[in-house]
Amino acid sequence: MNELLIDYLKSLSKLNLNKLFNNRSSTLTIFRLLDDGHKQLISNLLFNSHSIDKKSVSLLFKDLDYKLLLELNIITSDKESIHLNDSFTQSLTQLLCGNTIEPLSKTITTTIEQLDSFATHQWEIILHYMVGNYTHTPSKGVLFLLENSNLITTSKKTHNITSNGFQFLLQDVQMQLWQLLLQYLSLSQIRQMDLVEVLSFLFILGTLELGKDYSIDTLTVTQQAMLSDLRDYGLVWQRKTSSKRFYPTRLATSLTSSAPPLLPTNSTSSFTTSSDNKRFIILETNYRLYAYTSNPLQISILNLFVTLKARYPNLIIGVITRDSIRSALSNGITADQIIGYLTSHAHTQMHRNNPLLPVTVSDQIRLWELEKNRLKADEGVLYEDFRSQPDYEILLNYANSYDCVLWSNDSKRLFFVTLEGHQIVREFVKRRLPGGGSNSRSGSGTSTPAAAAPAPAPATPSLVLPS
Amino acid sequence: MTTTSNHLSLVVDLKNKNVTLESCKQLLVFINLHLCVTDLNSASIHLNNRIVVDTNEDDGGFNDLSKVFLDAVKDYYDKEAVESTSSPSSSSSSLATTLAQSLCHINRKINDQGTDASNTFRILILAASDDVPSHYVSLMNSIFAAQKGKIVVDVCELYNCNTIFLQQAAHLTGGNYIQATQTDCLIQYLIMAFLPNHELRKHVVQPRSDKVDFRAACFCHKRIVDIAYICSVCLSIFCHPPQRCSTCDSPFPARTLAKFGVEGGANGAQQTHAHAPRNPSRLRE
């Protein structure tokens, strides 16, 4: 979550960052995102004239790189010294001196369990949908977001999980949440929403208290509009859509903390905090896979690359086959992702083995992937019909000196150069071989089919090479 | 995320010298900053044998915390004023007992969290009183317990106090020892020296005192001594060679006692520089 968010903050303009620093919740969140060393530097400056010369920094810290702080506009630097941003200082000092963020209301009218189950339910709908379990369909806004984040692809009313989507499922909930929310932020600009208001509302959510209700009156129009989207993600709960109050769920209050964002509500829940429950897969050398789980989400994920054979109340038996892996690969899931998933969820019994997964299986999965990647397509131009061998050799040597030859065949006097190389070689042909020693064919028939190549011939002039 | 959770136990000792309200407020800001660093951090304040506040247990905001702490300090001085008028110099500093109590508090947390947790603990002693030699043994026992539990003990001295025991405490547990002479900028001392956690301290240039006063207090008269007699069995320290060790009851050899001209026979005792026992796991009284 940290790097994701920091990278995003880095991309913001100085003006937007300054606006964020005016908000105490945002300031606190950004402060907490930083490294310990950076926090220490800021703390040192906070009550001490807000500036320090660069020499002193190197005296105080053994190896501190404060480039990030400059990028985030928290400090500014001139020739000799660095200064702390005024708004940042002011917000943080106020926070430290006791002006905490006051809750908007303190009446407890709903139970935390209710909120937890709501958040878990909403979030599970999204994840289940991604792996092709369509019992509940998330709202259009969520679908739009998922497609825009390139997590699923839609074709002819069916949704397929992408490679990114699979990677997404392997992450913990907080990472997933932030990945979606950052996507939401980048879309918010298109929807004419003020970026700073959206971001600071997310940061405010992170500082609210679970189980308390908050009035929407203090929110801006943009932030009120966000509420319906956030409800779809399970971040906030409202009694009615027109309700004047909202309740942040655990997903929201843990946005900027390290507490677990979802608590297991029942035995089939996908979100368990204990690491033992994450380790449930036994993989045998005969490609058989036993998964001790009854969790529908995990089963759906396994179903992406395993042919399931039998299901018992707490156990799934399946086989890894060439077809099952190929179908996963064709969705864009890579062999490394599959092996990574199997490794991180391997049963404790498997941890006795060294290496963890049977080598036969992991190697075979990689081989199946290589099978798919036998062909490599490059765009370029084929040179053919040379009149004489010397002509051919001069041109080939010239092209070789520019390192743009992708393939050549001496006996047939053919060679293939990249598109960039074509310009150079053509100039050379015009200059040196006025008779027009060869034809450069840039038509459609330039691809030489490699043996047993299942890949479609590229439309642009290109050569397909056995890799 | 490189940041790990860190629990700060603040042991405040206010005996003898009055601490201004300003210092207390700065101390509170420091605690707040410690809590701000990550949401995993927690803190507890121990004053006069009492756990004033623990952010893990009572879940109040910062305003509650400061109110509770300031009230506790006020109570303490009020009570002190009453006691000193009735019987002057009756009560002594409660530093040793409060420190022991904070260690027990930390120990309970360590036991609660089990084996796999990555929580780290440290103690910051804010001392505004001089050493009490009679507390030497119990204080050193606490320090050795902290050393064994890998709990760093930092010491911040207010007003030029003379506490060689606390210097040793910081030295033995790898903590920092600072004398905050200008109390109006106490917060800056606290931030520079005591805010960094264990990990960060490796990367920050920290104030270190080269000279540590290693003198110990003798077990018999609780006097701070340069040179003392050490029991060769249990390493107890005595300013005068006794017939028998008061701690382990082993007799000092008669010949050694005689060498030092002590009555009671041709006995003798070892005389050693009383560099407090280097590494005994505990001292007994």
CATH number for the region B214-277 comes to: 3.30.40
Q: What is the pLDDT of residues B110-128, one digit of tens each?
A: 887 765 556 788 888 888 7
Does A434 have pLDDT greater than 70?
no
Q: What is the pLDDT of residue A290?
A: 92
> Closest Cα partner for B131 from B155, B104, B102, B101?
B155
Domain residues of chain B, as ranges?
6-201, 214-277
Q: Which pair of structure tokens corresponds to residue B249?
A: 């009851």
pLDDT-wise least confident of A72-86, A100-114, A298-312: A100-114
Q: What is the chain B residue with the closest CA to A274?
A: B116
Of chain A, the percentage scoring pLDDT greater than 70 comes to 83
The distance of B233 to chain A (nearest Cα, Å) reads 45
Determine the average pLDDT of the residues in B72-78: 80
Where on the phi/psi map is residue A364: left (φ > 0), alpha (ψ -120 to 50), or beta? Answer: alpha
Rounded CA-CA distance B34/B122 in Å is 12
Determine the average pLDDT of the residues in A347-358: 84
Does B70 have pLDDT greater than 90?
no
What is the enclosing helix (H) or strand (E) of B120? strand B120-127
Q: Kindly state whether A36 is in contact with chain B, defined as any CB-CB distance less than 8 angstroms.
A: yes
Q: What is the mean pLDDT of chain A?
A: 76
Q: What is the chain A residue with the closest CA to B205?
A: A60
Give the CA count within 13 Å in the CB-facing half-sphere of A153. Answer: 10
Yes or no, beta carbons of A44 and B191 under 8 Å apart:
yes
Yes or no, beta carbons of B3 and A36 under 8 Å apart:
yes
Rounded CA-CA distance A433/A426 in Å is 10
Instruction: Fill in the DSSP letter of residue A446.
Output: G
Q: What is the pLDDT of residue B202?
A: 79
A81 band by pLDDT with thresholds 50, 70 and 90: confident
Q: Which residues contact A445 (CB under 8 A, 6 or more apart)?
A: none
Q: What is the pLDDT of residues B30-51, one digit of tens each?
A: 888 888 887 778 888 888 777 8
Q: Kindly state whether A31 is in contact with chain B, defined as any CB-CB distance less than 8 angstroms.
A: yes
What is the enclosing helix (H) or strand (E) of A153? strand A152-155
Yes or no, beta carbons of A97 and B29 under 8 Å apart:
yes
Does B2 have pLDDT greater than 50?
no
Does A453 have pLDDT greater than 60?
no
Exposed / middle / buried, residue A236 (Cβ in 10 Å: 0-12, 13-18, 19+): buried
Q: What is the chain B residue with the closest CA to A64?
A: B203
Q: What is the pLDDT of residue B96?
A: 84
Q: What is the pLDDT of residue A319?
A: 93
CATH topology of domain A2-96: Arc Repressor Mutant, subunit A (1.10.10)
CATH topology of domain B6-201: Rossmann fold (3.40.50)
Q: What is the pLDDT of residues B197-240, one digit of tens each?
A: 877 887 777 777 667 777 777 777 777 788 888 888 878 888 88
Rounded CA-CA distance B115/B122 in Å is 18
Please list the helix, strand and coil fractions of chain B in percent, rounded to the nearest 5, in that order. Answer: 40, 20, 40
Determine the average pLDDT of the residues in B4-17: 77
**Interhelix angle A163-170/A112-130, nearest 10 degrees:** 150
Rounded CA-CA distance B15/A120 in Å is 53
Q: Which pair of structure tokens corresponds to residue A162?
A: 């992408």
Residue from A27, A35, A36, A275 to probe the interface with B (highest B Cβ count within 10 Å): A36
Q: What is the pLDDT of residue A320?
A: 92
Task: Look at strands A81-84 and A51-53 and give their pairing.
Answer: antiparallel
Contact A134, A280 (CB under 8 A): no
CA B75 to chain centre: 23
Q: What is the pLDDT of residues B146-205, one digit of tens each?
A: 888 888 888 888 876 667 788 888 888 888 888 877 777 888 888 888 888 877 887 777
Q: Kindly state whether A47 is in contact with chain B, defined as any CB-CB distance less than 8 angstroms.
A: yes
Residue B167 CB coordination number (10 Å): 21
Taking the model in full, what pTM does it have?
0.69
Q: Which pair of structure tokens corresponds to residue A125?
A: 């709908």
Contact B201, B160 (CB under 8 A): no
Q: Kindly state whether B159 is in contact with chain A, defined as any CB-CB distance less than 8 angstroms.
A: no
Q: What is the pLDDT of residues A353-401, one digit of tens each?
A: 878 888 899 999 999 988 887 777 788 888 888 888 888 888 888 888 8
CA B235 to chain centre: 21
What is the enclosing helix (H) or strand (E) of A185? helix A173-190
The distance of A41 to chain B (nearest Cα, Å) reads 9
Q: What is the chain A residue with the closest CA to B39?
A: A257
> Closest Cα partner for B4 from B198, B279, B138?
B198
Determine the average pLDDT of the residues in A322-338: 85
Q: Which residues contact A78 (CB under 8 A, 6 or more apart)?
A: none
Contact A21, A31 (CB under 8 A): no
Q: What is the pLDDT of residue B162?
A: 65
- The residue assigned the tokens 């000196």 is A401
Q: Which residues of B are less than 8 Å from A48 in CB distance?
A: 188
Q: What is the pLDDT of residues A307-327, one digit of tens each?
A: 999 999 888 999 999 999 988
Q: What is the pLDDT of residue B84?
A: 66
Q: What is the pLDDT of residue A21?
A: 84
Q: Which pair of structure tokens corresponds to residue B110?
A: 């360590």
Q: Kindly state whether B35 is in contact with chain A, defined as any CB-CB distance less than 8 angstroms.
A: no
Domain residues of chain A, as ranges?
2-96, 112-253, 276-371, 375-449+456-466
Q: What is the mean pLDDT of chain B?
A: 75
Q: What is the pLDDT of residue A317?
A: 93
Q: What is the pLDDT of residue B1?
A: 39
- The residue assigned the tokens 């190896």 is A63
Contact B13, B128 (CB under 8 A): yes
Q: Which pair of structure tokens corresponds to residue A304?
A: 């992406």
Q: Kindly state whether B63 is in contact with chain A, defined as any CB-CB distance less than 8 angstroms.
A: yes
Q: What is the chain B residue with the closest CA to A103?
A: B61
Residue A135 CB coordination number (10 Å): 8
Q: What is the pLDDT of residue A261?
A: 61
State the architecture of A375-449+456-466 in CATH terms. 2-Layer Sandwich (3.30)
Which one has a higher pLDDT value, A451 or A406?
A406
pLDDT-wise least confident of A69-78, A256-265, B63-72: A256-265
- The residue assigned the tokens 């990647």 is A373
Determine the average pLDDT of the residues in B12-39: 79
